[in-house]
């Protein structure tokens, strides 16, 4: 019985010493300056890492929530401001567009080659410029379409015929029908028929 009491006392003493040792380490009383800096850096890194992870999770949740608000049941397409009017570009498969646009890398990887190195910088910058200036691009092509339509209308209104004319043919004017039979003056022949 006495032996068991001594073992229990020894165990209690060792547990106390162990707790005191860990408290001393945490307090930094027996650490060198470099060791203390390393522990401080590690604690700071863990805290910053946890904060960054929480911020990233919050950003992801906000992005998903806002994306779901855009691609809801009533979503028909994207509107573009052209002058004082709005035009909508209809989207047939909204779930595919939502999935594709859910990760920016789906856009970027179209322009990457081997080892994820930039392969098509011109295409990337064209696509990014178009995305950042969507309404201005739509306005440009709208104005170009109007200019082409006016040009076509003016050409038709002036009755401009750009097709080649035939040198031989029949001309009818005021009841008289004339037909050219040759091209040079030596073979010029003239026929006249009177209609009664």
Considering the entire predicted model, what is its pTM? 0.53
Boundaries of every domain in the chain: 2-70, 77-157
**Predicted pLDDT of residue 32:** 77
**Predicted pLDDT of residue 167:** 53
Spatial distance between the Cα atoms of 161 and 181, rounded to a whole number of angstroms = 25
Spatial distance between the Cα atoms of 181 and 85, rounded to a whole number of angstroms = 60
**Predicted pLDDT of residue 181:** 60
**Predicted pLDDT of residue 21:** 75
Q: Which token pair is 91?
A: 């989207």
**Predicted pLDDT of residue 170:** 61
Spatial distance between the Cα atoms of 102 and 100, rounded to a whole number of angstroms = 6
Is there a contact between 90 and 77 (Cβ–Cβ < 8 Å)? yes
Apex 123 CA angle, 121 and 128, nearest 5: 95
pLDDT tens by residue, 16-40: 888 877 776 666 566 678 877 888 8
State which residues of the chain have pLDDT below 50: none
Centre a 10 Å sphere on the Cβ of residue 139 and count the other Cβ atoms it contains: 15
């Amino acid at each position: 019985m006495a032996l068991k009491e001594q073992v229990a006392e020894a165990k209690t003493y060792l547990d106390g010493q162990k707790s005191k040792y860990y408290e001393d380490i945490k307090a930094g009383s027996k650490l060198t300056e470099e060791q203390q800096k390393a522990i401080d850096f590690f604690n700071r890194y863990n805290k910053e890492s946890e904060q960054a992870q929480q911020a990233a999770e919050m950003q992801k949740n906000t992005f998903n929530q806002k994306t779901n608000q855009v691609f809801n049941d009533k979503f028909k397409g994207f509107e573009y401001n052209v002058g004082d009017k709005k035009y909508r570009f209809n989207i047939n498969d909204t779930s595919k567009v939502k999935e594709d646009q859910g990760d920016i890398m789906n856009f970027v990887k179209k322009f990457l080659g081997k080892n994820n190195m930039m392969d098509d910088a011109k295409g990337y910058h064209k696509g990014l410029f178009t995305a950042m200036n969507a309404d201005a691009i739509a306005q440009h092509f709208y104005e170009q379409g109007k200019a082409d339509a006016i040009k076509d209308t003016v050409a038709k209104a002036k009755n401009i015929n750009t097709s080649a004319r035939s040198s031989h043919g029949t001309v009818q004017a005021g009841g008289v029908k004339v037909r050219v039979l040759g091209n040079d003056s030596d073979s010029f022949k003239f026929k006249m028929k009177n209609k009664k």
